Structure 1
Amino acid sequence: MSAALTVNSYFDDKVKSVALENAEGVSTVGVMAIGEYEFGTSQKEYMTVVSGALTVMLPAENEWKIFAKGETFIVEANQRFQVKVSETTAYLCRYE
């Protein structure tokens, strides 16, 4: 296990995350500025809203769903999903 933290930046610095690895596995903790984003997954992701809210269009869905503080959504590997952010929002993403 490495002690180094990896900082990632996406969408012209509107989304930033810090990657970590610990006994629970690999996770990222990040912040999204107000905007609309599309993400792709390479692994199964468990995304939990820490502060704020995310409006999400999950793969194979046709309605947007709002996830508030403390709520989690799951996206399988090799999928794309869309996110609308109406207030700056923090999240935790755990990978499997």
Structure 2
Amino acid sequence: MIASNEYFNATVKSLGYISVSGNSTVGVMEEGEYEFGTSSHETMKVIEGELIVLLPNETEWKSFQEGTTFEVEANTSFKVKSIGQTSYLCKYK
């Protein structure tokens, strides 16, 4: 079954699904700044647009554009700035 999720007053929306490689979500963020918590390891791929990301234990923001990925360990949090509307794919381990 496909799960529909909305966060931050519906400025972030995603669809969750289970593929042969495990749980994933595909979503879209409006321009803005957000902080997410993780309960499992996440691999995020920017499909379209740009995310500026502050990863756990880092002091500098990093840019991730279309086709690039970043990873976040379980039980942490990270901040993102979406530059315009940005779409992403998130895979969970």
TM-score by length of 2: 0.99
Task: For 1:47 and 1:11, locate their aligned partners in 2 and report how far apart those are by CA, in whole Å.
Answer: 19
**Cα shift at 1:86:** 1.7
Partner of 1:92: 89
Pairs within 5 Å for 1:12-91 = 12-91=9-88
Task: For 1:6 and 1:95, locate their aligned partners in 2 and report how far apart those are by CA, in whole Å.
Answer: 15
**Alignment root-mean-square deviation, CA:** 0.4
In the TM superposition, structure 1's runs of 4+ consecutive aligned residues that sit over 4 Å from their partners are none
| Equivalent pairs, count | 93
**Cα shift at 1:71:** 0.4
Structure 2, gaps ≥5 residues long: none
**Cα shift at 1:84:** 0.5
Greater strand proportion:
2
Spell out, residue by residue over 1:38-73, the C-alpha distance to the aligned partner (whole angstroms, 9 max, x if none). Answer: 000000000000000100000000000000001000
Q: Percent of pairs identical after alignment?
A: 53
